[in-house]
Amino acid sequence: MHELNIQTICAETSAAKGRVERAHLTLQDRLVKELRLQGISYMEAANAFAEEFMNDYNRRFAKAPRQEFDVHRELDVDDDLDMVFNWREARKVSKSLTVQYDKVLYLIEDSEFSRRAIGKYIDVWHYPDGHKELRLNGVSLPYSTYDKLSEIDQGAIVDNKRLGRALEMAQLVQAERDNNRSQSVPAGDGPSRRRKAPTTKKSQRSLDQDDMFNALVKLQSRSEEIFGKKQI
């Protein structure tokens, strides 16, 4: 309200407070019952009925003001209601340029300006339409998100009936791979010596489709040994 230069006027007398409470009672009780009588249960229908309800309510209970002067004013050119009417919360930026808000991890893009926010609090602007902005001193920071509550796609999960075969297939392929992380072997007090790479093993990048095919053949032969050949 301060950004729009709107001042709050509090009800300081018993009569004024009574009028406020009666208005609240109307909105919380009479309006709800009227919506039920009209069979309205959706927001769109309630918004459409609101104008009719207000006209009827003002016709029955409105009081003429002492002064007819209208103090409402038009918006200025610089007034942006979308930037004013949003929820704002402060969050501290970590050393890795990350911020957590509503169980979502925000990864701020690395730049000279964004590094100024490390260890400081920035504002998370949550707009009514759902999108969010991270702002440092009023400047929006570009970011990407990682949702901690994201669900795994069911199509990406291997079916239980095939899981054993899939793992066995991976094991056969890995058996052809050289899993040594380093070929340098420490030799006690003497200089280190080089370990010879196994002649029957391949590096990770050397595995090809032939290795996959050979693993499939071995897997098929194991199935025939256990269950026997299918009768056609």
Q: Which of 40-54, 159-173, 191-205, 211-225 has the highest mean pLDDT?
A: 40-54
| pLDDT of 217 | 81
pLDDT of 192: 45
Round to whole Å and give the CA distance between 199 and 94: 49
- Residue 223 is predicted with a pLDDT of 64
Classify residue 215 as left (phi > 0), alpha (psi -120 to 50) or beta: alpha
* Phi and psi torsions of 210, nearest 5°: -65, -40
The average confidence (pLDDT) of the chain is 77
Give residue-wise pLDDT tens across range 17-61.
Answer: 888 888 888 888 888 898 999 999 899 999 999 999 999 888 888
E-strand ranges in the chain read: 87-92, 98-101, 104-108, 121-126, 132-136, 139-141, 143-147, 184-185, 193-194
Q: Do residues 143 and 106 make contact, with C-beta atoms less than 8 angstroms apart?
A: yes
Lowest mean pLDDT among 7-21, 38-52, 95-109, 155-169: 155-169
User: Who wins on pLDDT, 215 or 182?
Assistant: 215
Domain ranges of the chain: 1-79, 81-147, 154-227
Q: Name the strand (E) or helix (H) holding 166.
A: helix 160-175
- Who contacts 215 (Cβ-Cβ below 8 Å, separation ≥6)? 169, 172, 173, 176
Provide mean pLDDT across the span 109-126: 92
Number of residues assigned to the chain: 232
pLDDT digits (tens, 9 = 90+) for 120-151: 999 999 988 888 999 998 899 999 988 655 55
Binned at pLDDT 50, 70 and 90, residue 9 comes out as confident
